[in-house]
Amino acid sequence: MTFLKPSGRLKEAMSDGQPGDNSDRSWICSYWILNTLGQTRPHLISSTLLEDNGLSEMRVVRGMRDLMGPEMYISDYLIETAIKVFRLFNYEPLDSPVLELWETLAAKGGEEVESDTFKFTDKGGREVGLRFDLTVPLARIVATSPHLLKPFKRYAIGKAWRYDRPQAGRYREFTQADVDIIGASSSAADAEVVLVALEFFRRILGKDYVVRINNRKVLKGLTEKASIPDSLAYECFRAIDKLDKIGRDGVLEELRNRGIDAEQSGFLLDNIALRGKGTDILEEFRELLKGSEIGLRGVDELRTMSDIFEAANATDVTEFDMSLARGLDYYTGPVFEGQYLGEPHVGSVAGGGRYDNLIEKLGGVPTPATGLSLGIGRLIDIMLAKGLGETLAPRLDALIAPVTTSVLASGMKIMGDLVRAGISCEIDLMERNLKKLLEQADSKRARYVVIVGERDLKKGEVSLRDMTTKATRQVKLDGLVETFGEKS
């Protein structure tokens, strides 16, 4: 195995010293993963690092990345699988512009909206921004489309942008695959979108995954029990949401800065440690929240979901976790987060929840809604680490090798005939000799090489080389498609 030798900034970033910036960590992680797999490709290291190593004069925008080869095969596979699962649950497709008016995006609420949004003034003087998720555009569409039949079940797949701090597994541009149910207030709808995610994970991961679930009403009940004013409840949710990133001490500091005293903070952090599977843990939630009407209502909603998961044999892959908060202010009920339990640790690979007030905020009538997003980018990193990039690459059926340029047109016709029959083809366009073409066929994992020569064409034949057995035989042109049908 040949390793890319680090130098310059890449060498510095891999040393015991501090990397140049946090985006380096992400690319270094990819470097080591791919070296381990024997798949090292320079394009997987940030263009900034490549430039400093004398490999490129161009840079990719910080926090963004190019996807090529194995990554794109994985991306296509994930998206195709997601669409298949979404349609099996009878969700219909929807697309929306990547650019939204700023007032639409700002309806989400929360202190990080403006700082995390790619916001600018367009040439017409309007304040606009790149969407940071696929939920706010959906809410806008529903708010302005009162004719939609309910429940409206939609899926959407597309890119979103957040101007946050790049780090391993986190980019400023990312692809999401969303499912949402609009118009259903029952907790059964929340359970359904979780079941959709579980079916997707079952198909791509097989095992080593879990969906963690909580309820904003449960957290609200907890803040009530801690005698924290309503005006500070969302401040608490935002701080708790950072627990995995900054730890207990970091959350205590955040709470103190937000005006929560030490006793209240201690009560919150001591009790959000409750987590477990099935109904037993929910009884502990209920006991803790006695006296809080909203908290107990949240537990009842989780109990409905738990009963559905038990009936669906999904108890082993769902977990109720009182520390789960989700950072967005628009969540009003159950919230969920999917995690991959194997290596590498990439953070959450899915997230969502109920957002019953968002459509009304955008000018629509009060409408219950719930949904979940799959993080395609992080799932790509997982699949790369599992070595699936090359496995998912489609195998080429036929490499067509014109012996001379005089038979190129005939080779093109053969390619067209094979493609129309559903046989994947590539024709040599660089006038390489047969030895080079056979080497290329091996590298592309081609099943056959169709050798097109003038003498064979005069007899209505081509030479067909089997790249597995290395045997070559003559095949009539009018029977070539049938030959592939027999062999493939």
DSSP, residue by residue, 394-456: PPPSEEEEESSGGGHHHHHHHHHHHHHTT--EEE--S---HHHHHHHHHHTT-SEEEEE-HHH
Q: Are 247 and 301 members of one domain?
A: yes
Mean local confidence (pLDDT), 460-478: 96
Domain identity same for 334 and 409: no
Q: Is residue 61 part of a domain?
A: no
Residues 403 and 435 in one domain: yes
DSSP three-state, residue 100: strand
Which pLDDT score is estimated for 57? 60
Region 282-300 average pLDDT: 95
The residue among 167, 14, 178, 159 whose CA lies nearest residue 85 is: 178
In a domain, 393, yes or no: no
- Of 31-45, 294-308, 346-360, 439-453, least confident by mean pLDDT is 31-45
- Let me know if residue 64 belongs to a domain: no
Q: Supply the mean pLDDT for the chain.
A: 87
If one compares 176 and 60, the residue with the highest pLDDT of the two is 176
Most confident of 58-72, 175-189, 233-247: 175-189
β-strands 369-375, 173-182 pairing: antiparallel
pLDDT of residue 40: 40
* Residues 381, 402 share a domain: no
User: Which residue in the block uniquely carries the two structure tokens 């489609």?
Assistant: 394
Tell me the C-alpha distance between 481 and 465, whole Å: 15
What residues are paired with 173 via a beta bridge? 161
pLDDT at site 39: 40
Domain boundary among 340, 355, 385: 385
Q: Is the domain of 146 the same as that of 182?
A: yes
User: Which of 385, 410, 429 delimits the end of a domain?
Assistant: 385
Q: What is the pLDDT of residue 316?
A: 96
486 compared with 240, residue with greater pLDDT = 240
Label residue 442 by pLDDT band (50, 70, 90).
very high
Kindly give, in sequence order, each residue whose CB lies less than 8 Å from that of residue 281, ignoring residues fewer than 6 positions away: 274, 275, 320
What pLDDT score was predicted for residue 326?
A: 83
**Measured between alpha carbons, how far is 307 from 320 in angstroms, rounded to an integer?**
13
Tell me whether residue 2 is in a domain.
no
127 and 101 Cβ atoms separated by less than 8 Å: yes
Q: Tell me the β-bridge partners of 458.
A: none
Give the lowest-confidence range in 4-13, 78-87, 199-208, 381-390: 4-13
* CATH number of 213's domain: 3.30.930.10
Q: What is the pLDDT of residue 429?
A: 95
Rounded mean pLDDT, 229-235: 81
168 near 26, Cβ under 8 Å? yes
Local confidence band at 31 (pLDDT 50, 70, 90 cut-offs):
very low
pLDDT in tens, 365-416: 999 999 999 999 999 999 999 888 888 888 999 999 999 999 999 999 999 9
Per-residue pLDDT, 2: 40
Query: Cα 12–15–16 angle (5° rounding)?
Result: 130
The answer as to whether 392 is a domain residue is: no
DSSP string covering 356-397: TTHHHHTTS----EEEEEEEHHHHHHHHHHTT-TTTTSPPPS
What total of structural domains would you count in the chain? Answer: 3
Is 426 within a domain? Answer: yes
Residue range of the domain that includes 31: 8-52
Confidence of residue 486 (pLDDT cuts 50, 70, 90): low
Ranges of H-type helices in 206-292: 216-225, 233-240, 243-257, 262-271, 278-288
Residue 230 pLDDT: 82
- In a domain? residue 354: yes
- pLDDT at residue 469, rounded to an integer: 95
Say if residue 263 is in the same domain as residue 370.
yes
Pair (405, 367) in one structural domain: no
Span 115-170, pLDDT tens digits:
899 999 999 999 999 999 999 999 999 999 988 999 999 999 999 999 988 877 78
Question: Same domain for 171 and 230?
Answer: yes
Same domain? For 136 and 239 the reply is yes
Where is 81: in which H helix or E strand?
helix 70-88
Residue 255 has a pLDDT of 84
Q: Is residue 390 part of a domain?
A: no
Question: In this structure, are 238 and 323 located in the same domain?
Answer: yes
